[in-house]
Structure 1
């Protein structure tokens, strides 16, 4: 795989990880709303289980954020090391020919 294609794949993975992070955040917000709504309702199963689910989801969200941060740093380092900006410029020039 050439360097530009590898970089584009790395960027794609970063975007997908970002999407997963946003999805996890939305799940946490929904769980929180369920927990608040259940204060009025008082369902024992929800009262017992939702905090555990929230905690596991929060741990997953933290793990995803850690992976995303690390992977974005690797992507930036790869870009700098391989002069990706210059490779993109050259590709655009080649496409115009």
Structure 2
């Protein structure tokens, strides 16, 4: 695989990670809204379970962010090391 192709693929993966992180953040927001609705309902069992689900979803967002940052640093090191001469393709 040519360096420019590898760099483009790495960029695609980073965009997909960002999309995944945004999707998971939306899940966290939906859980928070259910938690607010449950304040009116006062279902203790649901409250306990929503806390667990919210914590796990928030932790997943954090984990995705960590992976994304590490991979972006790897991508940047690769770009510096291999200096692809072809300009990055737009819209990929």
TM-score by length of 1: 0.84
Distance of 1:81 and 1:87 partners within structure 2: 15
Structure 2: segments with no counterpart, 5+ residues? none
The number of residue pairs the alignment matches comes to: 89
Q: Does 1:20 align with 2:20?
A: yes
Which structure has more relative contact order (CA 8 Å, sep 6+)? It is 2
1:47-97 per-residue CA deviation (whole Å, 9 max, x = no partner) reads 12000001111111111000000001111111111112x2328x9xxxxxx
Which of the two has higher C-alpha Rg?
A: 1
Q: How does 1:37-76 map to 2 (within 5 A)?
A: 37-76=37-76
Give the number of the structure whose residues are more often helix, by fraction. Answer: 1
Runs in 1 of length 4+ with deviation above 3 angstroms?
Answer: none
Structure 1: segments with no counterpart, 5+ residues? 92-97
What root-mean-square deviation, in Å, do the aligned CA atoms of Structure 1 and Structure 2 show?
1.6
TM-score by length of 2: 0.88
